[in-house]
Structure 1
Amino acid sequence: MKNLIKYTSLILILLTSSCEDIINVDLETGRPQIIVDGWLNNKFETQRIRLISTIGYFDTETPPAVENATVRVIDQVNNKTLNFTYDKDGYYTWTPTTLEDTLIVRQRPGDFDRDGDGLYDNYYKLEVSVNFDNKDLAFESYTSLERVPPIDSIFFQTSKGNTVEEDEIYGELFAKDFVGPADCYWIKTWKNGNLLNKSSEILLAFDITPGRSDFGNILTEPTAFIPPVRLGINLSISEDEENRGEKNYEVGDSVYCEIHSMTEKAFDFMSRSRSAMSNGGLFATPLANVPTNIIATNQDAEGMVIGVFNGSAISSKGYRINTKPPYDNRQL
């Protein structure tokens, strides 16, 4: 029996010490790719398209900027070329000179469907050429700027806690989706000037719902977003943040919201990107590139570019919580 205890203790010591060994994983580095981050809008402001290079999965440095590209956007409605010039940090910019130069929002349901595919993504064409990784690459993408509903109101209430100190202020955004199919939105919220940008705070809507649905084909009148979308302007607070005293909203906070219209392709890209950013845990799906709407136009560019090109119309509204909102029985 003593020998058994002695051998068991030895095994436990060996197992414990082996758990302290450092294992270096030598992963093969794949070929670099260009990432396109192209989000245009209809505001009278500088428009930006960013080009950076991919890096290794475990690399911690900032992805290198792609600085030597020729970037332009073709206005296919007015047959104009918008030449983007390099600024810094991978950003290429173009600024409209007058209000008339701002980008056009497509009037639905059926104008300018030039290619007849029903997607209406052919108002603006992105063209990029660049020498990258010792290859001359060329690629393109297409988008439209879709309609966006106005924000009717941002409304706040107080969820009653066990004590006054545990009361929680939460907000809802009220806006109505249009009649007609496939309106897609990205709703962004700023608290005290800080964008809510966790993966769990990326708020997307497909018509009136958080994900793809057939509501657009069913609605016969403008209809308000359902509660999961309306309530999505609240913070996603982790247990650690809650233990540190982080609050959702408090009296004195300013809240600013924007609704950005999106094409269906951009919606799918953002949905998959959000899932990839929150990917983790025992049953996590394998990492993979999110499908892109960037198209290689020469052989060398095949498989060398990822990312998204999209145009947005934007509506916005701000609110300051000056007094404690009325109580509501709903719990977040």
Structure 2
Amino acid sequence: MKRIFIYLTFLFSGALLSSCEDVIQLDVQDGVEQLVIDAWLTNKAEPQIIKLSLSQPYFDNSEPTAVNDATVILFDADSVAYPFQNINSNGEYALPENFASALIENKQYALYVNYRDEEYAAVSIFKPVPAIDSIAYEFFEFPISGDDSTETSGYFAEFYAKDFEEEGDTYWIRTTKNGELNIDPAQIAISYDGGFSPGGGTNGLTFILPIRQSINDGFYQHGDSLKVELWSTTPDAYFYLLQVRQESANGGIFATPPANIPTNIFNLNSNSDRKALGFFGISQVNEMSTVIDSTKARPSE
């Protein structure tokens, strides 16, 4: 009887697996072409760039079409205007001056974009960010060996910073290893009051351990360079980045249907069907760099 049950189970499983081989033809509509605005400004002493492009069909893997005939202006709360200039005709708009020195903490800034007689706007706040106190690292070695492409030993790093006393502070942690910024959207590291999410009881404390160790993508080795950047964000920026991460990691058998991520950019004409995609954020940035030195590693426990 047990043997019959196992045999029936095998047949049932095989039927399920074979049903997964059916080819499904999807009829995906192209939809309305939309303006995509990539606008994240900081106080870093470097050119501040806003990128404009057009949306494209879901299965179109070509380079997006750049938008070069738009008007892009940033306004502060006192109505001081900072016009951006189109550069190189590649959809990039830049400030012709050192913008970092003009930013004022906790001040509100508004982005205005005019494209094909449609006017778009978004608002963000230049919030403060804590200083990074230090970066520490410790040597680890896995007890089992992997293949030739897998590192089984090296240094695991963490940074230290303390959340502000006020509730609702949100952050974006960005890591550069050996001069290469980690831009994998599925590995976006964000924090709410030094923890994972609102109401976590972490307000005003040192960032929790998983957040501090989010700067690791594999092991560091002796001589590797490491730079950690802590960016201030607004709560809506935190939830935007959270959804970007979730959509980027959305795959496998239990994946949910992909969806556009909500934006803080709106058309001033609420009756228009021309909407915008993307996000406008403005961040204060603190950073710290180090070079992994085996003689300065924290003793292993």
**Which residue of structure 1 lines up, in the alignment, with residue 80 of structure 2?**
80
1:181–1:215 contact (8 Å) kept in structure 2: no
Map 1:161-176; keep pairs closer than 5 Å. Answer: 161-162=142-143, 166-176=152-162
1:253/1:209 CA distance change after superposition, 3 Å? same
**Which residue of structure 2 lines up, in the alignment, with residue 138 of structure 1?**
119
| CA apart distance, 1:175 | 0.5
1:292/1:169 CA distance change after superposition, 3 Å? same
1:22/1:318 CA distance change after superposition, 3 Å? same
Q: 1:193 aligns with which of 166, 172, 179?
A: 179
> What is the TM-score of this pair, normalised by structure 2?
0.84
**Which residue of structure 2 lines up, in the alignment, with residue 294 of structure 1?**
265
Return 193-202 or 156-165, whichever deviates more.
Answer: 156-165
**Which residue of structure 2 lines up, in the alignment, with residue 10 of structure 1?**
none
Q: Tell me, in whole angstroms, the C-alpha distance in 2 between the residues paired with 1:23 and 1:98.
A: 51
Deviations 1:96-152 (A, max 9, x none): 34864x31221xxxxxxxxxxxxxxx7111111111xxxx21110111111100000
Q: Tell me, in whole angstroms, the C-alpha distance in 2 between the residues paired with 1:258 and 1:95.
A: 25
| CA apart distance, 1:274 | 0.9
1:84–1:93 contact (8 Å) kept in structure 2: yes
Q: Tell me, in whole angstroms, the C-alpha distance in 2 between the residues paired with 1:97 and 1:251.
A: 37
> What is the TM-score of this pair, normalised by structure 1?
0.77
Structure 1 runs, 4 residues or longer, greater than 6 Å off: none
1:72/1:314 CA distance change after superposition, 3 Å? same
**Which residue of structure 1 lines up, in the alignment, with residue 243 of structure 2?**
272
1:123–1:142 contact (8 Å) kept in structure 2: yes
2:43–2:100 contact (8 Å) kept in structure 1: no
Aligned residues: 278
Aligned-residue sequence identity (percent) comes to 32
| CA apart distance, 1:212 | 2.9
Q: Tell me, in whole angstroms, the C-alpha distance in 1 between the residues paired with 2:242 and 2:166.
A: 21
1:157–1:328 contact (8 Å) kept in structure 2: yes
Q: Tell me, in whole angstroms, the C-alpha distance in 2 between the residues paired with 1:183 and 1:302.
A: 34
1:25/1:200 CA distance change after superposition, 3 Å? closer
| CA apart distance, 1:176 | 0.5
Aligned-residue CA RMSD in angstroms? Answer: 2.6
Gaps (5+ residues) in structure 1? 1-15, 107-121, 236-246
Gaps (5+ residues) in structure 2? 1-17, 146-150
| CA apart distance, 1:301 | 4.2
